[in-house]
Amino acid sequence: MAAIDSQFTPFFTGHIAAWVRRHRKRVLLAWLIIAVVLIGACFSVGANEDLEETLPRESGEALKLLQDRFDFREGGAPTRLLFSPIRPWP
């Protein structure tokens, strides 16, 4: 390993790579600690479940009209609306 460390590396990434090669166990331990801390932070924060289920502008107005005019229940069977052109079916 001394031969690799004694070589001149003009690039910053070469210096970093040489340091990582010299300190493999520290780098592995640091990655494991970082992963555990980040996963723990994700679980402690939790999911944002307080979401408003509204549609913007005209889409929201259309949904509100459909809910007002037709029997719409949460979790129930969806209401199917069929629209046909002005001409009758062939």
Residue 59 falls within a domain, yes or no? no
pLDDT reported for residue 45? 85
Mean pLDDT computed over every residue of the chain? 78
Question: What are 25-69's pLDDT values in tens digits?
Answer: 999 999 999 999 999 998 888 777 777 777 778 888 887 887 788
Please report which confidence band the pLDDT of residue 81 belongs to, taking 50, 70 and 90 as the band edges: low
Q: Tell me, letter by letter, the H, E, C secondary structure of the chain.
A: CHHHHHCCCCCHHHHHHHHHHHCHHHHHHHHHHHHHHHHHHHHHHCCCCCCCCCCCHHHHHHHHHHHHHCCCCCCCCCCCCCCCCCCCCC
Residue 84 falls within a domain, yes or no? no
Domain count, the chain: 1
Residue 7 falls within a domain, yes or no? yes
Residue 40 falls within a domain, yes or no? yes
Q: Which domain holds residue 40?
A: 2-44
Whether 6 has a pLDDT exceeding 80, the answer reads no
